[in-house]
C-alpha cells in the first residue's frame, strides 16, 4: 500500500529516524525531535509446556484484556520475546515463538470488515514495531487489548515460559503522537482465514512458489512503517502498486542464526513516508523456496498508515 515514486526512505535506529532521500509525501509538520519515551514491560503466562513431542508441548490460544499501559497513549515501539520467570530470554532453540498478535477489541480492520484490529505482533523474527516522527499508534484508556499466540517447547525437558512485550509510548497529547496511524494487517490468504497455506515443493532446486492477494486502499494517507512475517523457506513478502508494479516495501527473510524448524531468525523492515491513494489496488506477494513441500506457512505484512494529507512543502 506504499508507492516507490520519489520515495523518502528513513533508517530507524531505536525508534529514531534519519532522512536519506527525497520525499514522496512532504515532511512539513512532522516532528523529528526525540520524544521522552515511557517504557513498560508486560507478560502473558506462565505457560507450563511439556517436553517436545509430548501432549502439552505447545500452547495455541487467546486471552482477552491483557496487561497494557494505562491512559490515552501513543505507542512508538513494541518488541516481543519468550522469557523465564526471572525475565531472562529463553534460548530460541529451546522454545519457539511461532507467532503472537495483539488486538484492540474497540476497533476493526480497515480491510477485513468485522475483524478485530490487529495492531502489532511478531514471530521467530522478533521484528519490533518502530514508529518515528509525529507518528504513533494511539489507543484510548478504555480500549481493551486481546492477544492470540502459538508457542512451542523445542527441548527435551518441560519448560515454564512467558510471552513478554515491551512497549515504548508517550501520552496521546504529545506532539510525537499527533499523527495517529492505522495498522493494516495484510495476509496473502485473505480475510477470515487461519493465515496458513501450503507450498507444494514441486519446482526443483532454485524454484520459487508465489502467493498473492490484491488489496484496495479504503482511503488516502501516508505509509510510515511496514514489516513482514514468513515461515521456513520464506524468501520475502512485498507490497506494490498493482497498476505499475512500483514496490513499496519488501521484507526479506534472513537465516543468520539457528531457529527451530529452520524459521527465519530476522526479517527486514521498511521505514517510509510514502503516499497511499484511495481506491488504488495494491498487490501483496509472499515468495517461498519451492524445492520441497512446506505445510502451514504464512505470508503476512503489517503496514502503518496515517489517514491524512500532509501540508504542502
Residue 256 CA, chain-centre distance (Å), reads: 20
3-state SS assignment for residue 182: strand
User: What residue spans define the domains of the chain?
Assistant: 10-306
pLDDT in tens, 28-37: 889 888 889 9
With a pLDDT cut of 90, the percent of the chain lying above it is 86
- 149-153, 231-235, 241-245, 254-258: lowest mean pLDDT where? 241-245
Which pLDDT band, with edges at 50, 70 and 90, does 18 fall under?
very low
Q: What is the pLDDT of residue 80?
A: 98
Task: Please determine, for residue 6, whether its predicted confidence score (pLDDT) is greater than 50.
Answer: no
Residue 130: strand pairing partners: 77
Mean pLDDT confidence for 149-154 = 98
Which pLDDT band, with edges at 50, 70 and 90, does 312 fall under?
confident
Higher-pLDDT residue of 26 and 8 is 26
Question: Largest Cα–Cα distance of the chain, in whole Å?
Answer: 61
Q: Do the beta carbons of residue 180 and residue 138 sit within 8 Å?
A: yes
Dist. CA 181–CA 131, nearest whole Å: 9
Contacts of 244 (CB under 8 A, 6+ apart): none
User: Can the peptide bond before residue 10 be classed as cis, meaning omega within 30 degrees of 0?
Assistant: no
Neighbours of 286 (CB within 10 A): 29
User: Can the peptide bond before residue 46 be classed as cis, meaning omega within 30 degrees of 0?
Assistant: yes
Q: Do the beta carbons of residue 99 and residue 143 sit within 8 Å?
A: no
For the chain, how big is the Rg over CA atoms in Å?
A: 19
Q: What is the pLDDT of residue 279?
A: 96
Dist. CA 116–CA 109, nearest whole Å: 6
Q: What is the pLDDT of residue 34?
A: 85
Cell digits of residue 256: 543468520
Task: Please determine, for residue 15, whether its predicted confidence score (pLDDT) is greater than 50.
Answer: no
Dist. CA 171–CA 119, nearest whole Å: 18
Task: Please determine, for residue 143, whether its predicted confidence score (pLDDT) is greater than 60.
Answer: yes
Amino acid at each position: 500500500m506504499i508507492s516507490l515514486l520519489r520515495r523518502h526512505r528513513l533508517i530507524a535506529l531505536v525508534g529514531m529516524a534519519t532522512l536519506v532521500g527525497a520525499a514522496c509525501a512532504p515532511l512539513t509538520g512532522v516532528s523529528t525531535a526525540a520524544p521522552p519515551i515511557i517504557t513498560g514491560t508486560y507478560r502473558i503466562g506462565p505457560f507450563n509446556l511439556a517436553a517436545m513431542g509430548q501432549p502439552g508441548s505447545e500452547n495455541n490460544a487467546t486471552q482477552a484484556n491483557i496487561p497494557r499501559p494505562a491512559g490515552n497513549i501513543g505507542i512508538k515501539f513494541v518488541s516481543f520475546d519468550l522469557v523465564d520467570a526471572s525475565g531472562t530470554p529463553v534460548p530460541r532453540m529451546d522454545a519457539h515463538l511461532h507467532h503472537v498478535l495483539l488486538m484492540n477489541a474497540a476497533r476493526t480492520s480497515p480491510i477485513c470488515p468485522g475483524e478485530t484490529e490487529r495492531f502489532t505482533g511478531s514471530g521467530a523474527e522478533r521484528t519490533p514495531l518502530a514508529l518515528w516522527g509525529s507518528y504513533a499508534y494511539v489507543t484510548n484508556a478504555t480500549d481493551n487489548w486481546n492477544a492470540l499466540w502459538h508457542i512451542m517447547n523445542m527441548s527435551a525437558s518441560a519448560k515454564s515460559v512467558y510471552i513478554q512485550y515491551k512497549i515504548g509510548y508517550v501520552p496521546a497529547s504529545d506532539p510525537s503522537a499527533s499523527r495517529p496511524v492505522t495498522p493494516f494487517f495484510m495476509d496473502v490468504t485473505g480475510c477470515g482465514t487461519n493465515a496458513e497455506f501450503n507450498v507444494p515443493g514441486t519446482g526443483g532446486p532454485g524454484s520459487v512458489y508465489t502467493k498473492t492477494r490484491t488489496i484496495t486502499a479504503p482511503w488516502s494517507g501516508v505509509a510510515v512503517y511496514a514489516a513482514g512475517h514468513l515461515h521456513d523457506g520464506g524468501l520475502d513478502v512485498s507490497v506494490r502498486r498493482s497498476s505499475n508494479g512500483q514496490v513499496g516495501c519488501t521484507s526479506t527473510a534472513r537465516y543468520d542464526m539457528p531457529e527451530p524448524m529452520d524459521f527465519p531468525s530476522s526479517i527486514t523492515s521498511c521505514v517510509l513516508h510514502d503516499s497511499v491513494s484511495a481506491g488504488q489496488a495494491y498487490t501483496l506477494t509472499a515468495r517461498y523456496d519451492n524445492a520441497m513441500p512446506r505445510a502451514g506457512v504464512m505470508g503476512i505484512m503489517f503496514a502503518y498508515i496515517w489517514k491524512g494529507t500532509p501540508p504542502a512543502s
